[in-house]
Chain A
Amino acid sequence: MGTSVQVTPLCGVYNENPLSYLVSVDGFNFLIDCGWNDLFDTSLLEPLSRVASTIDAVLLSHPDTLHLGALPYAMKQLGLSAPVYATEPVHRLGLLTMYDQFLSRKQVSDFDLFTLDDIDNAFQNVIRLTYSQNYHLPGKGEGIVIAPHVAGHMLGGSIWRITKDGEDVIYAVDYNHRKERHLNGTVLQSFVRPAVLITDAYHALYTNQTARQQRDKEFLDTISKHLEVGGNVLLPVDTAGRVLELLLILEQHWSQRGFSFPIYFLTYVSSSTIDYVKSFLEWMSDSISKSFETSRDNAFLLRHVTLLINKTDLDNAPPGPKVVLASMGSLEAGFARDIFVEWANDPRNLVLFTETGQFGTLARMLQSSPPPKFVKVTMSKRVPLAGEELIAYEEEQNRLKREEALRASLVKEEEIKASHGSDDNSSEPMVIDTKTTHDVVGSHGPAYKDILIDGFVPPSSSVAPMFPFFDNACEWDEFGEVINPDDYVIKDEDMDRGAMHTGGDVDGRLDEATASLMLDTRPSKVISNELIVTVSCSLVKMDYEGRSDGRSIKSMIAHVSPLKLVLVHAIAEATEHLKQHCLNNICPHVYAPQIEETVDVTSDLCAYKVQLSEKLMSNVIFKKLGDSEVAWVDSEVGKTESDMRSLQPMAGAASPHKPVLVGDLKIADFKQFLSSKGVQVEFAGGGALRCGEYVTLRKVGPTGQKGGASGPQQILIEGPLCEDYYKIRDYLYSQFYLL
């Protein structure tokens, strides 16, 4: 029977929480997405912690916190150790997003859920795939093929296809069918009839998406209006996702209008982000790669945008109206929060939200309508310790160090006592006269332990503390010292090495300032104070989320028309709405599981494989229809040498079958066809087509969505007995194949 598939949401169903789903395909457990929110709420990860160790592979879809934020934490704390699969941009931009998150958090709190090293470790072993690369899983996943495909929401963002035995499980969340400046639209509609489709209902209730041109115009008008009256514009953005589209819009507009207002892109990793993005042209829209191929203009060579990686640079910037894109989009941390607090009370300023803030964050609060007049904000800051505190800190540190040293020495002592006498003849580099050492151990041994220098631990076999001493004995023969010819071979690789060590850093391109910030080990502390911010600046929200709207989602799902559908990631109403819609119009198996509720979406499709014998195939005449060919077969089951079922031609005459008309008639196309044949044809009311004078043709029965997914078509042709009738009937027949 079919491949067994179970879906268990771990987070992000019936609400807008981060996404994380467990999909098990024939016992192989995929964790698809591993998201967290900007508040880093550990309670969200509880379901994940229960299954983390059973995960066999992790698939990441988008490079933002909601889709991969929990990866470092899960790897470090929850025992997640499976290989991770992602596209190159998701890997790289995801890494930068996490750096930015960490550094923003670290600035304002004693953030200890994960460290930079944890991030590095988590991302180190990501297996990078390209779009439509069919990757055959090794080992336990033998027979499973995974492939990322264009999702259209963020750079590198993917919808995942998991295939086993010809059955597809498709995971598509946050896709966008509309082409944007830097991204192609999704290819979701190229999949038809997958066994399972897991998708989000996030935008199911969202319908009035404005046309791109109009939206861009409003966006730029709003910004320029505020700039011209001397106000500043803040766009709270994500680190490396949707912000790229905004940058391109601004950049394009600035060069067209010749604006001189500065644009700043301020995150802890902004310059690395853009450097990487510049080399990701393969992943971007056709128009971007085409313009590069013909004129070698890299769209992300930003001429009007200044990349900043710390706030001081912004403060030092010349005064005057400016546009600042800063992370985080939630205003919970990062530069955006600081800037918001600074700018909020000037009515000339504008805070422009380009996406719906995460639930329960400051951004969400400000997006409510009517917007709040005041918001209470806890501002925290990391300040270096000074004065008494510093002294206290140092004392504390010293005390800790001493205690540790003491403990270490005690342990050492134990060890030495235990090993005493048993191995003092072992061949350590310190070859010392054993007779004398015995005395030392006996009398002064422990007394010296305390005076050791930090970092130097004497080997356990040594009898007294002593710096390592290596006797460099050389061998001699009658010609002098015996030499090793290898030592004198010219090192050809020197030239390489000269270049290599300029590379340095593992991840290559962390900004220097960032690096210094990371390495900054000066004692510091976090101080918080609560303040009330008067919100007198303008607050505007525009949709630059880059997700398909409700109507497109519905038609997209109808087009894909999966055999089974699983809905996730949306508030209850939206989920319910889409579920009802799909049940009525698309497919009878729609599931919307709760957290940790496992739904079994194993297809109840029956199938078996047969071999088509040469004899049979030589008698089959295929008829071409679109990109497939059809034929009727009557056959008898036989066996091949390898004991496989094979279809042979019927020995006797086949019993006649009911004739089948195969084809998909589009009334509009047919109209055109008829008029090309010289038949007078026009639409009459009710979807009917009036052909000639008397004959009418219409589709009847439940039409449902387009695409013919809902069932066989029913076409009614009626008219009086006349020549026209038969002529039109013949034309109609010509649109079908009779099998």
Chain B
Amino acid sequence: MASSSTSLKRREQPTTRDGDQLIVTPLGAGSEVGRSCVYMSFRGKNILFDCGIHPAYSGMAALPYFDEIDPSTIDVLLITHFHIDHAASLPYFLEKTTFNGRVFMTHATKAIYKLLLTDYVKVSKVSVEDMLFDEQDINKSMDKIEVIDFHQTVEVNGIKFWCYTAGHVLGAAMFMVDIAGVRILYTGDYSREEDRHLRAAELPQFSPDICIIESTSGVQLHQSRHIREKRFTDVIHSTVAQGGRVLIPAFALGRAQELLLILDEYWANHPDLNNIPIYYASPLAKKCMAVYQTYILSMNDRIRNQFANSNPFVFKHILPLNSIDDFSDVGPCVVMATPGGLQSGLSRQLFDSWCSDKKNACIIPGYMVEGTLAKTIINEPKEVTLMNGLTAPLNMQVHYISFSAHADYAQTSTFLKELMPPNIILVHGEANEMMRLKQKLFTEFPDGNTRIMTPKNCESVEMYFNSEKLAKTIGRLAEKTPDVGDSVSGILVKKGFTYQIMAPDELHVFSQLSTATVTQRITIPFAGAFGVIKHRLEKIFESVESSTDEESGLPALKVHERVTVKQESEKHISLQWSSDPISDMVSDSIVALVLNISREVPKIVVEEEDAVKSEEENGKKVEKVIYALLVSLFGDVKLGENGKLVIRVDGNVAQLDKESGEVESEHSGLKERIRVAFERIRSAVKPIPLSASS
């Protein structure tokens, strides 16, 4: 299970490191509905869920608060479904910001995304400077979007993620992200109820550590689907029977298809209605039909069985309507038109002309965002403002029958109870609804082990996960399982969030990396006798072995078992060694030596004698230097008995043994300081012992 390797630490624990901090920040949809966009960061990996716009605003104001983050740091952007409050700022984000990560969505979402946004650009009546993106941006964004199939696991920079069916609209997904064993579930909009064409949201088989869940419906309970359908058809039937007109403002895609399925079936079962036309005023939806016909694998078994006989999405009683000009308003009819919020467009035009007649009806078929006209008329005001600025009485009946396919309270609480995530973050809900939901959920999880958070936009939620880092030691290093106290040395290879320790010569066996040896061969002009070189080398280096080269029979020398010096010809000698820092150094000194021989022979001889003599002097010099340096550091330093140095600092006394470096003092701080200082001094004045390198 997810939580086995990770343990949640509370905020107050001081030992946490930055790398274990998990931050969730809603950039949109934090205590509001619309412009879903949730930022998440853990262990240097940054993920953005959804990229929507707020349907009630226009221009830049509709965007999520992208300023809060650096888009170039985002590794992965995951889009749950094609609704504009979840996907519509994507072209902007991809084309107008520094974002250069990867974007994923499901096949169906991608296919509809393009159609929907192209339509959105055309429909939204905003000035050119307010336009966030144009059709070209959408087309360009298509190339950057990658597709993911349900349940398919994808890994990007060590972030693993996969998605589950969400049930909300065709192609809607819930994303599960796994970073170093910490799992985060982002539901997007989801519904646990199977309807006419969609499957219910799945229950993930793993419990997440954090669940970021929508709260649109708050504590409401939905009526059963059949009752809703019956109310819907009854209202329509009675209205048209009395000669009224029915307006259904709906989003072009998603729930509209469900309503059309209901209407088409109802008309088929009621021949008396067959002379009453149903218009669906969305050329967009017509274009999307091919998508609905193709991705039947994402739908439920019912529709797939129906599909065997005839395509249920080829409607028999529903007529397309392209614009209001083609529409002759005579007698009763049913019109489903976009946009769903009655902001503008055809649905608004029809509303304006029908709203004052009490025979007519308007059915709001789903959740409406605050600030739209559709939301306003649900409260049945006496008057409404028309598009042309005039006010008109609102006489038409307004019905709110939700087909919005958001999980209601019962679904949400059972979903959470099954998953039991230790952290719940509520997003995508009105502040008040969200608080009520939070309170009610608290009563459901009384044990106090569950944190429920409702961050506002740009408010970060911080959590700490101290996940253990586990490494696997493999190959030769693991032949013997070590006991406590044994040492393990090797190359640590980190890939994603998995660690392996292995011996260097097995690197190519267990990883894609490989090691290399660089052999260097350098030729130096040297005309003197080879014996001279040998002689000189023996003076400087501890180990010089003579041999003869097997191939050429020429004399060769091996210095410190690292560098081979060979006489190539009368005028050249060659040096050969395999690269590492010490060998490089040895070879450099040999080169210097050889060059010096050829340049100034006599001088070196003198130096050589000096070198022999100065052995003792050197020792004295070293001691002097050490003494001087210690004085500069500690001030009062005297040579005590038995050759030890006595150092006094602020009344504390310490004795330092110059040979072994041992320090005796009652004051531990001083002792440590002297020890460290002495070690540094010694390493500075005494050359590196060559033996240390092999």
Contacts and interface: CB of A to CB of B under 8 A. Distances in A.
Nearest to A293: B111
A490 B523 CA distance: 102
Contacts of A147: 153
Given A611-B468, A629-B494, A661 B473 contact: no
Contacts of A490: 230
Given A282-B149, A610-B470, A639-B484, A293 B306 contact: no
A719 B149 contact: no
A664 B511 CA distance: 12
B525 to A, nearest CB: 8
Nearest to B266: A495
Contact of A661 (B226, B511, B518, B694): B518
Interface string A558-574: 00000100000000000
Contacts of B309: 502-504
B295 interface: yes
B519 A606 contact: no
B509 A193 contact: yes
A634 B487 contact: yes
Given A503-B309, A607-B478, A636-B486, A714 B517 contact: yes
A612 B493 contact: no
B493 A628 contact: yes
A426 B296 CA distance: 53
Contact of A720 (B518, B523, B693, B694): B523
Contacts of A715: 516-519
B586 to A, nearest CB: 14
A7 to B, nearest CB: 22
A195 to B, nearest CB: 11
Nearest to A607: B474
Interface in A672-721: 700, 707-721
Contacts of B624: none
B390 interface: no
Given A498-B269, A502-B309, A720-B524, A633 B488 contact: yes
Given A635-B488, A713-B517, A717-B521, A610 B494 contact: no
B568 to A, nearest CB: 11
A433 interface: no
A499 B265 contact: yes
Contact of A637 (B483, B514, B524): B483
Contacts of A657: 489, 504
A700 B578 CA distance: 13
A625 B287 contact: no
A281 B489 contact: no
Given A129-B151, A131-B152, A610-B470, A281 B305 contact: no
A711 to B, nearest CB: 6
- Classify chain B: how many residues form its interface, as a range: 35 or more
- Classify chain A: how many residues form its interface, as a range: 35 or more
A20 interface: no
A719 B473 contact: no
A75 B620 CA distance: 93
Given A633-B492, A714-B517, A606 B478 contact: yes
A709 B508 contact: yes
Contacts of B493: 628-630
A620 B312 CA distance: 62
Contact of B297 (A88, A504, A629, A639): A88
Contacts of B472: 166, 607-610
Contacts of A606: 474-476, 478-479
Interface in B364-381: none
B495 interface: yes
Contacts of A132: 152-154
Nearest to B488: A635
Given A502-B306, A663-B516, A718 B478 contact: no
A645 B482 contact: yes
Given A296-B290, A492-B226, A608 B481 contact: yes
B114 A662 contact: no
Interface string A573-598: 00000000000000000000000000
Contact of A505 (B308, B504, B515, B581): B308
A414 interface: no
B291 interface: yes
A399 interface: no
A65 interface: no
Contacts of A658: 504, 580, 694
B651 interface: no
A713 B157 CA distance: 28
Interface centre among B107, B479, B487, B498 (most CB of A within 10 A): B487
Contacts of B120: none
Contacts of A293: 107, 110-111, 114, 142
B449 interface: no
Contacts of A625: 513
Interface string A67-88: 0000000000000000000001
Contacts of A627: 157, 495-496
Interface in B520-555: 520-525
A360 B579 CA distance: 62
Contact of A708 (B501, B504, B514, B692): B514
B114 A294 contact: yes
A608 B139 CA distance: 51
Interface string B215-234: 00000000010110110000
Contacts of B151: 129-130, 133
Given A492-B230, A717-B521, A662 B513 contact: yes
B21 to A, nearest CB: 14
A661 B521 CA distance: 18
Interface in A634-656: 634-639, 645, 647, 650, 654-656
B489 A632 contact: yes
A637 B494 contact: no
A610 B17 CA distance: 21
A622 interface: yes
A660 B504 contact: yes
B477 to A, nearest CB: 8
Contacts of B522: 718-721, 725
Contacts of A503: 302, 305-306, 308-309
B107 A281 contact: yes
B453 interface: no
Given A279-B295, A296-B111, A636-B485, A614 B17 contact: yes
B517 A495 contact: no
Interface stretch (A306-314, A437-445, A731-739): A731-739
A328 B420 CA distance: 54
B182 to A, nearest CB: 17
B295 A713 contact: no
B623 interface: no
A139 interface: no
Interface centre among A495, A620, A629 (most CB of B within 10 A): A495
A134 interface: yes
B629 interface: no
A497 to B, nearest CB: 11
A386 interface: no
B513 A714 contact: no
A659 interface: yes
A606 B473 CA distance: 8
B474 A612 contact: no
A717 B520 CA distance: 5
Given A147-B153, A292-B290, 13 more contacts: A134-B153, A298-B290, A495-B266, A499-B302, A610-B470, A627-B496, A632-B491, A635-B488, A707-B512, A710-B508, A713-B516, A716-B521, A721-B523
27 contacts: A133-B149, A133-B152, A193-B510, A279-B294, A293-B111, A492-B227, A499-B265, A499-B312, A503-B309, A607-B474, A607-B478, A609-B470, A610-B472, A612-B471, A620-B492, A627-B495, A628-B493, A633-B501, A636-B485, A658-B504, A662-B507, A663-B513, A664-B516, A707-B512, A715-B519, A720-B524, A721-B591
3 closest Cβ pairs, A-B complex: A492-B226, A503-B305, A508-B308
